[in-house]
Amino acid sequence: MALPLNDVKMNSRSLHDLTFDQMTALLVSEGLASLHAKTLWSTLHFRSLADPLSREDLSPPLRRWLVSNLSSGTWTLDVPPLNLDVPSGDGLTRKSLLKLTDNQEIETVIMSYDGRHTACISTQAGCAMGCVFCATGQMGFVRHLRPGEIVAQVHHARRVLVEQGKRLRNLVFMGMGEPLHNYDAVMTALDIITHTSGINIGPSKVSISTVGVVPGILRLAEEGRPYNLAVSLHAATDEERSAIVPANQRWPLPDLLAACRSYNAQTGRRIFFAWTLIHGVNDTPEHAQRVAELLRGLDAHVNLIPLNRTEGYEGVESAEEAANEFHRLLQEAGYPCTIRQRRGIDVAAGCGQLKAEKQRRRQAA
Ligand code: SAH
Ligand code: SF4
């Protein structure tokens, strides 16, 4: 749930952190009419203006309030500058490294296929979950992102696409970090992003991917949040999963699957399970049979993603035949299943890989 205005005032000074109701409460508490909140909201979120003062038709009271509060630093904006911007050779992926005020860098990726444009959003600087094959996990945890820092990535993607006459319609929370470890900020950001007089992305166009943070999955279901849920599974026994996904020790498979069942039952929504295919580690026909057994009774779709190699992990992607056989076995067992193409590998589009790559280049220089 969004924090009350007093808590927001104490914890943040960014206007981009505020939900519509909070922005209205703020301006009204400062003696402005609520109509000004509507104008400020549409300036920041519908028009995606990086500088609200550049809007010429702002009413004098709102302009005065903005000039005074922005120049004194009482309130700020989240407009992180671009540190690196890399389009992929096929032109279908564009990866940006955005620099936050404390110099942390986060990745936002824009992916375009079949005329649909999707932004892949980061929720933390680094990640505490430590999945061995993941470049972000290999960096460790730095800090949570605030709602405004999450929303700012969406505005960045919108501005890039608008220049090309295109519109952002889909969001996946599959960038750096574990969204359900930063639950409140992610949900506040989504309240802002899905607001119909602002960015207005449909809740059904939003997917949240989790390593399996059980309390977060249960909370999503209880709160009736209408977003799509993806669970990164990667292994079907506790022993195998704990070896590559250390968070499994905290939330082992029986607990995770129980949470998924209750999510299915409470929300009536299908869960998308992600399985990163690693040669010899989780890609044999026995593994496929085990995952089919594990998911029995669930409303599940399985996405198979060949591993993107990372510096800190010796594993390699599955051979194409192994991936195809895995796919066939899961389909035969009755699960809808897709092999996802690894897009934009030439821009290191795997989670956290561009930042890791940049750090390596810096060290080598
Ligand atoms: N923390 C969340 C969301 C970010 S990671 C989660 O783990 O689900 C998004 C997806 O990228 C996850 O399914 C994750 O397992 C996968 N991933 C991470 N590193 C990868 C790599 N090197 N190759 C392929 N998939 C990877
Ligand atoms: Fe974190 Fe997801 Fe990477 Fe695991 S895969 S370390 S949970 S970002």
What CATH homologous superfamily does 82-364 map to?
Aldolase class I (3.20.20.70)
Residue 351 appears among annotated catalytic residues:
yes
Q: Active site includes 107?
A: yes
Distance 78 CA to ligand 2 centre (A): 25
In contact, 244 and 281? CB cutoff 8 Å: yes
> For the chain, how many residues are written?
365
Domain definitions of the chain by residue range: 5-72, 82-364
Count CB-CB contacts under 10 A for residue 115.
7
CA dist., res. 233 & res. 40, Å (int)? 42
| pLDDT tens column, 170-184 | 999 999 999 999 999
Q: Is 209 in the pocket of ligand 1 (CB under 6 A)?
A: yes
Of residues 105, 107, 149, 178, which has the active-site annotation? 107
Residue with tokens 């990535």: 153
Residue whose CA is at the smallest distance from ligand 1 atom 9: 174
Which ligand has the nearest atom to the CA of 208? 1
Whether the CB of 118 sits within 6 Å of ligand 1: no
pTM value?
0.94
Please give the C-alpha separations between residue 158 and each of 62, 109, 123, 269, 290, in angstroms, as whole numbers.
25, 12, 18, 28, 42
d(CA 209, CA 178): 8
State the closest ligand 2 atom to the C-alpha of 128, by its place in the atom list counted from 1.
Answer: 1
- Angle at which helix 320-332 crosses helix 285-294, to 10 degrees, equals 30
pLDDT per residue rounded down to tens, the chain (365 residues): 556 666 665 566 999 999 999 999 999 999 999 999 999 999 999 999 999 999 999 999 999 999 999 999 999 999 999 988 888 777 788 999 999 999 999 999 999 888 899 999 999 999 999 999 999 999 999 999 999 999 999 999 999 999 999 999 999 999 999 999 999 999 999 999 999 999 999 999 999 999 999 999 999 999 999 999 999 999 999 999 999 999 999 999 999 999 999 999 999 999 999 999 999 999 999 999 999 999 999 999 999 999 999 999 999 999 999 999 999 999 999 999 999 876 544 554 466 677 777 777 666 66
Please report the atom of ligand 2 found closest to the CA of residue 138.
Answer: 6
Q: Ligand 1 pocket: which of 109, 138, 174 to mutate (most atoms <8 Å of CB)?
A: 174
Distance CA 9, CA 260 (A): 36
